[in-house]
Copies of this chain bind each other. A is one copy, B any other.
């Protein structure tokens, strides 16, 4: 005979110990037991001790779901990132998790794969689980439908890494425009004029000035890049912007760019560390020396960038802090802060290493 599963529910064999059980054991009412256990209301010390002893003895574990049902608060944040394997998101998630835990919140994680549809599904799940608020690095800075469902559900939302200008929500980003400017200026300052900017962001066609990009952070980088080149008197800087690199493969694209005399590229700005890796591989395959034949700079101070030959000059972003600050803002909103939305733009900083030199030719 199997245990008579109390009522329905509880797929699992063993019945869970509930407040009712504890109350009975401690010979108090359910309400009193709950008060003692949940640490609210007023309970005499004697009773509290008795209840807690009983709870301990029975192995009572509060059911957070039931608690959420009555209080409406889950003490849980949702976070949706492009891909947790991407070191950027891993770090940001960690930053958020640390702040969340410190404030008594847990985290439900979802990957969007930078795909609107997957993102929507993820948001749906989080909402269904009644998270108290959401942290999201939106797959698109222009398509706002997904994010609106969060707002419509009345849940606080904070964006990180990418802004969505059209939405009035708290946002934490880094100053990518200025970062790109620093990187590019370093290159032009060394005499480079034909500099490629490479990103994996999806884009329908060749980039043209003024095109709207799916990610505001990449858009800002491109802007900083283009403007700096322009300031240096380089004609048609937009032609040096190469997007969609995932489609062809970063290494492949880089090879094509570097091989081809037409391009005459002497330096590249990699929009993240994975791209830098691809460029590194391409240069190596082509027998090009860095920085002799090619200068390379990149976004994100990935741990390995200091250990290659040459070490890579990068813009470091305060990634942890981006996640942490986003979580702080979210928790504040959950706490009921009704102030108008804020946008925090964190500073990036340049780490000069060995991958930049004056171009051999030109």
A residues within 8 Å of B by Cβ?
8-14, 59, 61-66, 68-74, 76, 83-85, 87, 90-91, 93-94, 97, 106-111, 124-125, 127-130, 132, 152-155, 274, 277, 280-281, 284, 302-304, 306-309, 336
Contact B70 A9 (CB under 8 A): yes
Which residue from chain B places its CB closest to the CB of A107 in the assembled complex?
Answer: B109
Q: Which residue of B72, B109, B309 contacts A10 across the interface (Cβ within 8 Å)?
A: B72
CB contacts (< 8 Å) of A124 on chain B: these are 61
| 17 further contact pairs, Cβ within 8 A, besides A9-B71, A280-B307 | A8-B72, A9-B69, A11-B73, A12-B72, A59-B152, A64-B130, A65-B74, A65-B130, A83-B94, A84-B90, A94-B111, A97-B109, A97-B110, A106-B129, A277-B307, A302-B304, A304-B308
CB nearest to A110 among chain B residues: B106
A235 to chain B, nearest CB (A): 33
Chain B residues with CB under 8 A of A62: 128
How distant is the Cα of A14 from the Cα of B154 in the complex, in angstroms?
A: 7
Residues in B neighbouring A71, C-beta threshold 8 A: 8-9, 11
Query: How far, in whole Å, are A11 and B269 apart by their CA atoms in the complex?
Result: 47
Q: How far is the CA of A208 from the CA of B280 in the complex (A)?
A: 42
Residue of B at shortest CB range from A319? B85
| CA–CA, A251 and B172, complex, Å | 34
Q: List 13 A-B contacts (CB under 8 A).
A: A9-B71, A61-B127, A64-B125, A65-B69, A65-B129, A69-B69, A76-B129, A84-B90, A85-B90, A106-B108, A106-B110, A277-B303, A281-B307
Q: Which residues of B are found within 8 Å of A76, using beta-carbon distances? A: 129
Q: Tell me the nearest residue of chain B to A83, going by C-beta.
A: B94
Contact B108 A109 (CB under 8 A): yes
Complex contacts, A336 vs chain B, CB 8 Å: 11
Which 10 A-B residue pairings sit nearest by Cβ, starting from the closest?
A304-B304, A10-B72, A9-B72, A64-B128, A309-B309, A14-B154, A109-B109, A90-B90, A11-B72, A280-B307
> A240 CA to B87 CA in the complex, in Å?
32
The CA-CA distance from A281 to B277 in the complex, in Å, is 18
